[in-house]
Amino acid sequence: MRKVWKIIRLFTKLSGFVCLSVLLIILAADCYTNILANDYCHKKAADCRQGDVALVLGCSKKLSRNRANFYFTGRMEAAAELWKSGKLRCIIASGDNREKYYNEPRDMKEALVKLGVPEDRIVCDYAGLRTFDSVVRAQRIFGAEKLTIISQPYHVKRAVATARHLGIDAEGFHAPLIPINRPTWLRQFLRERAARVAMVFDLLIGSEPRHMGERIALPE
């Protein structure tokens, strides 16, 4: 019986150590993200810099049952607002195009044109499979050293933190959030914390985007 209790106590201590370690890693990644990004993310177009290249981060245009994705709509509206305010030089629409009938950059470009952004000022990045890839490719494929990254606040912070760690002079512009219920908020909160840990891991080990390729010139 004593052996059993020893094993239980050992298991309890190990579990506690693992849980504490995971919590500390999550807190460290969150703090690092906020330290790098908080002072560079803006809610108002008037606070953004003049003449930057915008990097709009992709997501699905539609949700299940063919419902509109308000995250997509919010990002496109924010990018169009920033363009119309005269702040931007051009826009990189970066997203996933791994499947034949799923093309985030094309959908983004079409939406931006409908919102009044000139087609010749939009460049599609078809290999933005994840946020890290989109940021790295914006610099190394498209040659952008100054970026205004556009997405919802929680997401844009992580993207700006990634860019600034890599030496890119990046700022963020908040796309609008939508009201969500508590379970959805909790899922998003936990997902974002995990994504920030993954971001720090990518930065520490020097990860590379899944696809690179030839340089692509941006509109002047």
Quick: pLDDT tens for 7-43.
666 667 677 777 788 889 999 999 999 999 999 999 9
Whole-angstrom Cα distance, residue 209 to residue 79?
A: 24
What is the predicted pLDDT for the residue at 6? 64
Instruction: Locate the domains of the chain by residue range.
Output: 2-205
Burial of 217 (C-beta count, 10 Å sphere; 0-12/13-18/19+): exposed
User: Whole-model pTM?
Assistant: 0.88
Whole-angstrom Cα distance, residue 198 to residue 4?
A: 37
Whole-angstrom Cα distance, residue 85 to residue 144?
A: 20
Residue 162's contacts (CB-CB under 8 Å, 6 or more residues apart) are 131, 132, 135, 199, 202, 203
Q: What type of residue sits at position 44?
A: K
Q: What is the CATH number of domain 2-205?
A: 3.40.50
What is the predicted pLDDT for the residue at 181? 73
DSSP 152-211: -HHHHHHHHHHHHHTT-EEEEEEPPP----HHHHHHHHHHHHHHHHHHHHHHHHT---S-
> Tokens 């119309």 belong to which residue?
84
Q: What type of residue sits at position 121?
A: R
Neighbours of 194 (CB within 10 A): 12
The candidate with the shortest Cα–Cα distance to 149, out of 41, 74, 34, 38, is: 41
Q: Decide the pairing of beta strands 146-151 and 169-174.
A: parallel
Region 178-198 average pLDDT = 84
DSSP state, residue 68: B
Neighbours of 176 (CB within 10 A): 15
Whole-angstrom Cα distance, residue 162 to residue 106?
A: 25
Percent of the chain with pLDDT over 70: 95
- Between 147 and 101, the higher pLDDT residue: 147
Cβ atoms 99, 66 nearer than 8 A:
no
Report residue 121's pLDDT band, with 50, 70 and 90 as the boundaries: very high
